[in-house]
C-alpha cells in the first residue's frame, strides 16, 4: 500500500532540509532499549541480555535512502570485505576459502585458518576515527555532515519492568538498529594493514579470518604470527579488542 502523495512530498521536503543543513531532530536520535534475557545465561549480568533498540521510523526511512547512495562512494572498500555490499555475499567468501584450502590440500601443502572475534565491535567504534577515515573515501560534504550529526549526541535509555533509566549521551559506538551502521563500521575498519603475501584475508563486517598458505609449517607459523601481531596493533590503535576466548 503506497503512502498518499502529500505525505511523500512532506517527507521529501523534510529529508532535503536535513541533508542540506545536517540537522537531525533529537527525538530521532533517542532510542528506547529493551532487554531480553538470553537462554541459559546468568540473569544478573548485562551481557546475559539481548538488547533491542527502538528508534524513529521516519529516521530509519532516511537512513535507508542514504545507504543506497553511500554504496556508490564506498567502492574503495577492500575486495576481501563482503559485508553489506551490493553484489557481495558470505557465500562468495566461503567459496573462495573452500577453493583455496582444497587446492592447497591437493598439492599436499599445509594451510592454517585463524578466525577472529572482536568484542562488541559496533559499540566501540570511535566517532572521531570515522571523521578521520572518511577522507580516504571522499564522501560528499552533504553525507559527511549528516553522518557527523547522526553519531553525535545519541540519547539511549533502557526500560526494565516498566522502569526507565536516565538517558545518557553516547560518545562512541554506532546504533545497531540502524541500516546505516554496518556501512559506518566498514568505513571505520577498512584500513587493515598490509599482510604477507601468503596470508589471505576474509571479512564479513566485523568477522575476520586469516588463511595462511605455504610449503612449510615453519613459514606459516612465522608469517601468521606476524599478521596476528599487525591485526592486534591495528585494533589497539582504534580502540577494538580481539576476544581471545572466541578466537
pLDDT in tens, 34-82: 888 888 888 777 778 888 888 999 999 999 999 999 988 888 888 899 9
Q: State the average pLDDT over residues 16-26.
A: 93
**CA gyration radius for the chain?**
21
Q: Answer whether 42's CB lies under 8 Å from 156's CB.
A: no
Identify the residue with better confidence: 171 or 215.
215
Give 138: exposed, middle or buried? Use CB within 10 Å, 0-12, 13-18, 19+: exposed
Band (17; pLDDT cuts 50, 70, 90): very high
**3-class SS at 213?**
strand
58 contacts: CB under 8 Å, gap ≥ 6: 11, 14, 28
Q: Answer whether 50's CB lies under 8 Å from 35's CB.
A: yes
Q: Is residue 1 scored above 70 in pLDDT?
A: no
Q: State the average pLDDT over residues 123-139.
A: 85
Q: State the average pLDDT over residues 218-244.
A: 94
Amino acid at each position: 500500500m503506497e503512502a498518499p502523495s502529500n505525505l511523500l512530498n512532506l517527507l521529501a521536503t523534510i529529508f532535503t532540509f536535513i541533508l542540506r543543513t545536517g540537522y537531525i531532530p533529537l527525538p530521532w536520535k533517542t532510542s528506547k532499549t529493551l532487554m531480553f534475557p538470553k537462554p541459559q545465561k546468568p540473569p544478573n549480568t548485562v551481557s546475559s541480555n539481548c538488547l533491542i533498540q527502538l528508534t524513529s521510523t521516519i529516521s530509519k526511512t532516511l537512513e535507508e535512502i542514504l545507504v543506497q547512495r553511500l554504496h556508490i562512494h564506498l567502492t574503495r572498500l577492500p575486495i576481501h570485505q563482503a559485508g553489506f555490499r551490493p553484489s557481495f555475499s558470505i557465500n562468495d567468501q566461503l567459496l573462495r576459502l573452500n577453493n583455496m584450502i582444497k587446492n592447497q590440500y591437493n598439492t599436499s601443502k599445509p594451510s592454517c585458518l585463524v578466525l577472529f572475534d572482536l568484542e562488541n565491535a559496533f559499540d566501540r567504534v570511535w566517532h572521531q576515527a570515522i571523521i578521520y577515515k572518511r577522507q580516504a573515501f571522499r564522501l560528499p560534504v552533504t553525507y559527511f555532515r549528516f553522518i557527523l550529526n547522526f553519531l553525535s549526541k545519541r540519547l539511549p535509555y533502557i526500560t526494565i519492568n516498566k522502569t526507565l533509566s536516565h538517558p545518557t549521551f553516547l560518545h562512541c559506538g554506532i546504533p545497531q538498529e540502524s541500516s546505516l551502521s554496518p556501512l559506518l563500521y566498514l568505513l571505520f575498519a577498512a584500513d587493515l594493514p598490509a599482510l604477507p603475501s601468503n596470508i589471505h584475508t576474509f571479512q564479513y563486517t566485523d568477522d575476520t579470518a586469516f588463511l595462511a598458505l605455504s610449503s612449510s609449517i615453519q613459514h606459516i607459523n612465522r608469517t601468521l604470527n606476524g599478521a596476528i601481531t599487525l591485526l592486534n596493533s591495528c585494533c589497539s590503535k582504534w580502540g577494538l579488542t580481539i576476544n581471545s576466548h572466541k578466537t
